[in-house]
Homo-oligomer: A and B are copies of this chain.
Amino acid sequence: MSTAARARLDPVDPSLLRGLRDHVHEALRRAIVSGEIPSGAALNERQLAEELGVSTTPIKEALRRLENEGLAVTEPRRGTRVTFDARQAEEMALARAALEGMIARLAAQRVDDAALAAIQATVEQMRAATAEGDVPRLIALNEQFHDAIHDASGCRYLHRLIEGQRVYDHTARSIILGDAEERGRAFAEHAAIFEALARRDPDAAETAMRDHVVRSGRHHVKAAFDRRKEQAS
C-alpha cells in the first residue's frame, strides 16, 4: 500500500461542494438579515427563480429552510413572506445568549489545557488588535474565540444551533467594531470569559458569556434597526 509511504491526507469534506440551494439560501438570508429585503416582503418562487437564473426546485428548498429558521412564513397556496423585524432580532440575540452561555458552561467543565492555551493565545492577539484598531482582524479573532469555546465543549449540535441565531452580517460587524469604546468593552468581556474558563468555573463562564452576548447583541440590533429607520425617513 502506498499510503504507508507518504503523509496521511485529510479526507475531503463533500459538504464543501454545495449546490444551488445553499447559494440561494445564503443570498436570501443575507438580504433578509441586512434589511435589503424588508419584513413582510413576498418571496415569489418563479420570480426568484428567474432573478437568480435557476429553476424553482432549489428556490423551494431554500425557502423551506428560511421558514424553518423563522425568517419566513409560508401560507399554503398563498405564498411566502419575510418575517424579520427588530422584535425577532432581539429574540434571536437572546436565544444566542442563552445557548452561548450554556455552551460556555459546558466548556468550563470540559476544556483541556491545550485548548485553554489556544484560547489564551487568541485573547492575547485580540488585545493587540484591539489596541491597534485592526477591525478585520478583530472580526476573525472573535469568531476564532467563540469557535474554540464551542470546540472545547464538544457540542456540535449546540454549535450549529448557535450559528443559526446570527442576526448581523459582516458589514454590520465592521461598523460596530469601528467604535473604539465598543472594542474596549468587547475585549474586557472576552478576557473575563477566558478567566472563568481558566478557573474551570461553569457558573462564572456562563454568566460572563451570556452578559457579553446579550450586551453585544442588543448593541447590534439597536444599531441595525436605528440605521434602517433613518434610511426610511
Contact = CB atoms under 8 A, between A and B. Distances in A.
Interface of A: 14-15, 17-19, 21, 57, 60-61, 64-65, 68-70, 73-78, 88, 91-92, 94-95, 97-99, 101-102, 106, 155-158, 160-161
Number of copies: 2
Given A95-B99, A95-B102, 17 more contacts: A14-B78, A15-B74, A15-B76, A21-B64, A57-B57, A61-B64, A64-B64, A64-B65, A65-B65, A65-B68, A68-B68, A70-B157, A70-B161, A88-B156, A94-B155, A95-B158, A97-B102
A158 B165 CA distance: 11
13 contacts: A14-B77, A15-B74, A19-B76, A57-B60, A61-B64, A64-B65, A70-B160, A94-B158, A95-B99, A95-B102, A97-B102, A98-B99, A98-B101
Nearest to A65: B68
A164 to B, nearest CB: 8
A15 B73 contact: yes
Q: Sort A-B residue pairs by CB-CB distance and give the 5 closest, nearest first.
A: A98-B102, A91-B157, A98-B98, A14-B75, A68-B68
Contacts of A18: 76
A69 B77 CA distance: 24
Contact of A69 (B68, B99, B101): B68
A64 B61 CA distance: 7
A158 B61 contact: no
Contacts of A158: 91, 94-95
B102 A157 contact: no
A3 to B, nearest CB: 22
A155 B95 CA distance: 10
A107 B201 CA distance: 28
A102 to B, nearest CB: 4
Contacts of A65: 64-65, 68
A155 B77 CA distance: 27
A165 B99 CA distance: 12
A137 to B, nearest CB: 31
Contacts of A76: 14-15, 17-19
Given A68-B69, A76-B15, A157 B95 contact: yes
